[in-house]
Amino acid sequence: MARFRRRFLTVCIVALAVSLAWGVRGQHGHERGAAFVGAMAGLCIAALTGKERWVWAAVWCSLGFSVGGAISYGWFIGRASDGSVAAMIAVLAVGALWGSFGAGGLGWGLRSSSSSERWIVVIATLLTWWWMDGPLSKTLEISGFGPRRTLLIVLGLLWAGLAFYLLVIRRDRVTGIMMFWGALGWGAGFPIGMTWLSAGPSLKLEGWPMDWWKCMEHTIGAVGGACLAWGALRCSAAAEGKLKLRQKWVSLGWFFVVIPTWLWANNLSFWYAEQRVISLSVVILAIFAIVIAVLLFVSSWHTVSTATPPLMARPWNGKFLRMICIVFAWMGVLTATLKTVPLHGWGSTQTFFFLAAGILTAALLAWRDE
């Protein structure tokens, strides 16, 4: 009974974390926001299980969700809400592919593989991603179903190729399990979340305007996160073992240098190019500060060759992993909040961000390792 209770709480807490992250993703959009989701999911699982290998897997989960972010799903949802069957099928496909890429990345991050294999998979994925976002998108008029369907088909072909290699050739059971639960979670999460768009306005809440699209996003994240957590618990045996020093440095660099830089670059672009509320000099100063932060991190990493900091040398226990998860969650919440609140004021979106982050923080602080 105690084991079931712990598993149930794990699924609920991860669902809350991913629900929060998917809402934060909506503030930044596409690949950059999705990268935050994958990292948040993996870090929360690491924090609750106390197994540091999930931290390295979280990097690959982040990259997997980023790939799924190459498809814009808003147009499909709009048409599906109007009753289009083809658009609803596309919504299901977008959700299943997105979840499968992200969760599959989480599973793949646990397995041992040669550096050459990793490079081949990563390069093939990034080239397809670049072609979709760049040359292919520029040749399409992204205003109708046909062009968007073309992008979705390309993403599906990439998924099919990776699935064939990993599941058929490599017989990677862990990645297969995670791909299934990710596809199920987000494939179901999208249509379930869409119900807010029709049912929400009928509630007619007085005095508190709700963003029903944001409610849909949080619901997608909650359903997807719950399935992701359940799949991860089924693969817990694969997460045994310790991280290499290089993996620790790369992980921290991804979570606290690359992702924040990506999100803040979006904030700066929004303030300068779209809203025209800051000057070019402010953008330059901000970029300078980011470059300094990156250089400081790189210089710290360089000290590995002469002296390994105690924090990096010893295994990361559950308490430390929970601190990483909490700091990362609040970094995302504050970044997303500061993007819009100074211009548009406080609303239900920010209230839920802070409420969810507060509950998540309390849950992680109260959590005890087995």
pLDDT tens-digit series, residues 211-260? 889 999 999 999 999 999 999 999 999 998 889 888 998 899 899 989 99
How does DSSP classify residue 243? -
Instruction: Give the three-state DSSP class for 80.
Output: helix
Checking if the pLDDT of 153 tops 80, the result is yes
Checking if the pLDDT of 164 tops 90, the result is yes
- DSSP per residue over 266-297, as a string? HHHHIIIIIS--S-HHHHHHHHHHHHHHHHHH
Which of 82-96, 148-162, 205-219 has the least mean pLDDT? Answer: 205-219
How is the chain split into domains, by residue range? 2-242+317-366
d(CA 28, CA 297): 24
d(CA 355, CA 368): 22
Beta strands per DSSP E along 22-117: none
Instruction: Give the three-state DSSP class for 232.
Output: helix
- DSSP per residue over 106-157, as a string? HHHTTS---HHHHHHHHHHHHHHHHHIIIIIHHHS-TTSHHHHHHHHHHHHH
d(CA 199, CA 210): 12
pLDDT of residue 274: 85
d(CA 184, CA 297): 38
Are 304 and 249 within 8 A, CB to CB? Answer: yes
Compute the Cα dihedral for 354, 28, 81, 219 and give only its sign. Answer: negative
pLDDT of residue 272: 87
**Burial of residue 152 (number of CB atoms within 10 Å: 0-12, 13-18, 19+):** buried
